[in-house]
Amino acid sequence: MSTDPDAAARRIMNQFGEESHIPYLNIEEGDVGVLIAFPIIGLFLAALTGIDSLALPFVAGGFGLGVAIIYVAPN
């Protein structure tokens, strides 16, 4: 019985892929920055308007945009 070196490499890469995966959000670790950055940008834009009541909608919109970008973007 011979082992395929490509199969062994794929098995190792799959193991690394599972370790960098966040199960509750179903995203990769590298995508967490997007989830953090877009609400911060939304908060900054709300601060630029000077209207305090826009902070929560802009942060929620930034989070929604970040989630949409993560799930739409190809792996």
Quickly list DSSP for 6-71.
HHHHHHHHHHHHHHTEETTTTEEGGGHHHHHHHHHHHHHHHHHHT-GGGHHHHHHHHHHHHHHHHH
d(CA 36, CA 22) in angstroms, rounded, equals 15
Domain that holds residue 26: 5-72
pLDDT of residue 71: 83
Per-residue tens of pLDDT for the chain, all 75 residues:
456 667 766 666 666 655 666 666 677 777 888 889 999 999 999 999 999 999 999 999 999 999 888 888 776
- Based on the structure, what is the number of domains in the chain? 1
d(CA 71, CA 25) in angstroms, rounded, equals 10
DSSP 72: H
Contact (Cβ atoms closer than 8 angstroms) between residue 42 and residue 59 = yes
pLDDT of residue 44: 95
